[in-house]
Every structure is written in C-alpha cells, then in structure tokens.
Amino acid sequence: MSAPRRSRLEIILDILKVIAGNGSLRPTHIMYKANITWETLKQNLSYLKQLNAINEIVEEDGTYFTATQIGLEVLAHYNRIADVLSEINVKSSLPYPNG
C-alpha cells in the first residue's frame, strides 16, 4: 500500500521544517530529509527564495539554505492552524453527554 501523495503546500512546509530544524543545510540533505525528488526540491527552493522564506548561502564548500524570519513565521502560523484543527477534531470525536 502506498502512502498518499502530498500537496505542494505540504511539500513546501516539509522543506521549511527541515531547514528550520537543522539551521543550515545543503540541498541534497534537504532533499533526503524532506523525501522529495531533486526536481521538486529545485522548484520549491526557488519558490521559497522568491517569497524570502529562505536564504541561499554560497560558500567555498557548497551551497546552504537557512530559514528567514518570514519562513519561521510561516511555520509558526501553520503550527497554530494545525493545533486548532487538531483540537476541533478531538472535540468532535468526544461522545455526547447523556441527557
């Protein structure tokens, strides 16, 4: 049985989570940790750079990416939304009180 496909939003959030959770990472490390293809990574890194959600740092030993304040805020907003939705789901699954 295969896992359900992720939406573009889920992939973008996964990329941001990986970068934010690791400080700075090379593209191949992001690709493996986010479980995406190279082409998908390139497209979404470009998009995230356009949004100023990540910074690209080019050094002698390679290229690295870090999350910007905007990227961190996107993740914080997402986490708040996920918490609210989780709370709603928990409340809706509680049994009705007798009466």
For the chain, the domains span 8-93
Q: What integer pLDDT is reported at residue 98 of this predicted model?
A: 52
Which amino acid appears at position 63 of this protein?
Answer: T
Q: Which pTM does this prediction carry?
A: 0.83
- pLDDT mean over 48-76: 97
* pLDDT confidence band for 4 (50 / 70 / 90): confident
Cβ atoms of 11 and 36 within 8 Å: the answer is: yes
CA pair distance 38, 32, nearest whole angstrom: 9
DSSP state of 65: E
Q: Which residues pair with residue 56 across a beta bridge?
A: 65
* pLDDT confidence band for 99 (50 / 70 / 90): very low
- pLDDT mean over 31-47: 97
Q: What integer pLDDT is reported at residue 71 of this predicted model?
A: 97
Instruction: Tell whether the model's pLDDT for residue 39 goes beyond 80.
Output: yes
Domain 8-93 falls in which CATH fold?
A: Arc Repressor Mutant, subunit A (1.10.10)
HSE value, Cβ hemisphere, 13 Å, CA-based, for 63: 8
| 72/91: higher pLDDT | 72
